Amino acid sequence: MESLTEEKLKSMELIANRLREDVIRMVSHAGSGHIAGPLDMAEIFTAFYFHILNHDPKQPNWPDRDRLVLSNGHICPIQYAALAHAGYFPVEELKTLRQLGSRLQGHPHRGILPGIETTSGPLGSGISQASGIALAARLDKKKYQVYCLTSDGEHEEGNTWEAIQFAAKNRLGNLTVVVDRNKIQIDGPTEKIMPLEPFAEKYAAFGWNVVEIDGHNFEEIIAAAAEARAMHDQPTVIIAHTIPGRGVDFMENDYRWHSKTFKPGEAEKALTELREARGKIKSERE
Amino acid sequence: MLNPEAKLNPNIFDEDVAQAPTRDGYGEGIVDAGDANANVVALCADLTESTRMDAFAKKFPERFFEMGVAEQNMATVAAGLGVTGKIPFIASYATFSPGRNWEQIRTTIAYNNANVKIAGHHTGISVGPDGATHQATEDIALMRVMPNMKVFVPCDAVEARKATVAAAQVWGPIYLRFEREKTPIMTTTETPYVPGHAQVFWQSKKPEVLIIGCGGLLYNALLAARELEEEKIGTVVLNCSTIKPIDDKKIAELAKKIGAVVTIEEHQVEGGLGGAVAEVLAKRTPTPIEFIGMQDTFGESGAPAALIEKYGMGVKDIKAAVKRVLRRKR
């Protein structure tokens, strides 16, 4: 990883802002899709694709690349935006999200779009798939790191906990899970739908190294990823506390935006707010 | 008479014909596959001995993963291994895998096109005393409906070994179906085996009915064919050990020539081998069919042979079906 200068931090803030704009445009143009999750993961996706990952967008199948597995496939608009801006495919293609014949499926599909490591969407299978890749890396004596980005709601799935047991048993130090702890899901707040707390303690009891961070703070995201990478015989979970809908005032902390569609004028209103935020980041930079 | 080209077991009709469960062939085949290719890995859900993975586990401990009773995790971890250059075999009883973990197989193995082999054990009602919870009679249907998935149902332990070795060589998701009980060894190491090719085991001079079967139950078809021959009713018995991709050319060709079909399988008659054959014939050459198998019902505890009789898959039932379909033949 390169060093984290003030300039790099600002450039990532601008990228995250741009990814949020793209998410609003993509979902609004598609007429359906999820919004709150993609918005709250903008800093995390930016940090991964523009700082943490050892990857080469021009060689998406490079055998030694770090793997980023997206478990909660429904937040793919933010991953698509990050992949496009990182150089995996043309940014113009983003507007084809969910259209007939597009490589940008409603939920991501491996093999048709560069940078997508696994097909996902049905919840709870990402940590398992990432564990399988981490196991293969160990068998092949490869040094790459496997990252799985997942959601808090997915921890209601039995499959998720099966994977958590398995990764601990096999001491998969090359596996890092990042949980978007935004505390919402389709039907309401997670703690009302099916309480997950004490969440960090559960992971610790299963034998994982646990780090809790502010999921909007680049320095914390990057430091946590570095700590995880240094672990050799234990998987790490980074519980990233986020604000659902982050960056757009009228969406923040409102669970209905998990998968709500835009009413006329709402997308424009969100884009105006994000433009203003960009101006602010830029002026601070000067 | 037996088809000489199939090079079948010469002692096939002896009372003391050699017997072995198809799962034994799987156990040998996976060791062969592991010897041949270092990328073959095996995962099992707390049924290592019963699914005959113990020899592989002993020989290749670094390539064997005990998953515990967690079939959903087993399928999805295998998917991760399968997209990273490994050739994982996953095994459990078929009611649990591909039963319980069907969606994981659909999304992360079939749609994801991961190079994973799914071994479903304890299929059919010949599982016996464990009862209906452990008797998989829907698995062929569950797997053959999935795009990208192939389905192999070997007829005996010798063919099971070949099918397992072939599964490691044929790229892509494959479902392999195995049985718990000993069944007669019909084939030999000389019997040709090509995935996707159905093979004539019995050929009468003037066949009037084509019997298509898969799995150990095919032996009952051969016994029925022999008795029918004595009653002057000629048949062809076809071993359809690849259900998907099905050998539609050979099935249509024979059905057109012969004009009546009986299918036999230790599986629900809907959606399994019978369903697959009916689809082929409806498209290519509509032919009357009688279906031997589980008739939309669950099994129960009991001795395997008694269950086969009770649920209408015995030799006399096959003979009766042959006579029924003959009456429907124009």
Residues B138-195 pLDDT 10s? 999 999 999 999 999 999 999 999 999 999 999 999 999 999 999 999 999 999 999 9
Q: How far is CA B25 from CA A33, B157, B162, B165, in A?
A: 48, 4, 8, 10
Whether A271 shows a pLDDT value over 90: the answer reads: yes
Task: Please return the burial class of B283, using the count of CB atoms within 10 Å of its CB with bins 0-12, 13-18 and 19+.
Answer: exposed
Sort out which chain A residues have CB atoms less than 8 A from B72's CB and list them: 124-125, 128, 158-159, 162
Closest residue to B73, CB basis, from A110, A128, A137: A128
pTM (predicted TM-score): 0.96
Q: Rounded distance, CA B261 to CA B283, Å? A: 15
Helical residues (DSSP H) of chain B, grouped into ranges: 22-36, 54-59, 71-82, 102-104, 139-144, 157-169, 218-230, 248-258, 273-284, 304-310, 315-328
pLDDT digits (tens, 9 = 90+) for B231-248: 999 999 999 999 999 999
Helix, strand and coil content of chain B, in percent to the nearest 5, comes to 40, 20, 40
What pLDDT score does A285 carry? 63
**Res A197 pLDDT > 70:** yes
Cβ distance of A125 and B78 shorter than 8 Å: no
**Which of A111, A135, A158 is nearest residue B72 as measured by Cβ atoms?**
A158
Backbone angles phi, psi at A91, to 5 degrees: -60, -30
Domain enclosing residue A17, as ranges: 6-285
For residue A1, being part of any structural domain is answered with: no
In tens, the pLDDT along A39-64 reads 999 999 999 999 999 999 999 999 99
A41 in any annotated domain: yes
Q: Of A77, A90, A68, A8, which is closest to residue A39 (Cα–Cα)? A: A77
Question: At B315, which amino acid appears?
Answer: V
Instruction: Decide if pLDDT at B133 tops 90.
Output: yes
Tell me the ipTM for this assembly: 0.94
CB A83 within 8 A of CB A49: yes
Q: Does A68 touch chain B (CB under 8 A)?
A: no
Residue B243: closest CA among B123, B115, B142, B152: B152
A115-131: per-residue pLDDT in tens? 999 999 999 999 999 99
Chains A, B: CB contacts within 8 A come to: 101
Task: Answer yes or no: do B77 and A109 touch at CB < 8 A.
Answer: no
Residue A284: which pLDDT band, with cuts at 50, 70 and 90?
Answer: confident
β-pairing, B234-239 with B199-203?
Answer: antiparallel
How far apart CA B175 and CA B178 sit, in angstroms, is 10
Give me the pLDDT at residue A286, please.
61
* Cα(B69)–Cα(B50) distance, integer angstroms: 14
Is the pLDDT confidence value at B101 over 80? yes
Tens digit of each residue's pLDDT (9 = 90 or more) over A210-264: 999 999 999 999 999 999 999 999 999 999 999 999 999 999 998 888 888 899 9
Shortest CA gap B163–chain A (Å): 25
How many angstroms separate the CA atoms of B312 and B90, rounded? 32
A121 touches chain B (CB under 8 A): yes
Distances (CA, A) of A151 to A244, B227, B287: 11, 63, 53
Provide DSSP, A80-131: HHHHHHHTSS-GGGGGGTT-TT-SS-SS--TTTSTT--S---STT-HHHHHH
Nearest CA in chain A to B104: A125
For B153: left if phi > 0, alpha if psi spans -120 to 50, otherwise beta; the answer is beta
Between chains, do B104 and A125 touch, taking CB under 8 Å as contact?
A: yes
The answer to whether A102 and A95 are in contact (CB under 8 A) is no
Distance, in Å, from the CA atom of B178 to the CA atom of B119, rounded to the nearest integer, reads 7
pLDDT at A275 over 80: yes
For the segment A68-116, what is each residue's pLDDT rounded down to a tens digit? 999 999 999 999 999 999 999 999 999 999 999 999 999 999 999 999 9
pLDDT value of position B120: 98
B83/A109 touch (CB, cutoff 8 Å), yes or no: no
CATH node for B192-328: 3.40.50.920
Q: Is the pLDDT of residue A2 over 90?
A: no
Contact: B79, A158; criterion CB under 8 Å: no
Of the residues B73, B97, B115, the best mutation for testing chain A's interface (the one with the most A CB atoms within 10 Å of its CB) is B73
Residue B136, SS3 per DSSP: strand
CATH class given for the domain over B20-184: alpha beta
Query: Are A148 and A127 contacting, i.e. CB atoms less than 8 angstroms apart?
Result: yes
Report if residue A196 sits inside a domain: yes
d(CA A38, CA A20): 8
Structure tokens at A53: 């990952």
Query: Considering only A64-68, A258-262, B71-75, B209-213, which range has the smallest mean pLDDT?
Result: A258-262
Give how many domains chain A has, as a whole number. 1
Average pLDDT, chain B: 98
CATH number at residue A113: 3.40.50.970
Q: Where are the domains of chain B?
A: 20-184, 192-328
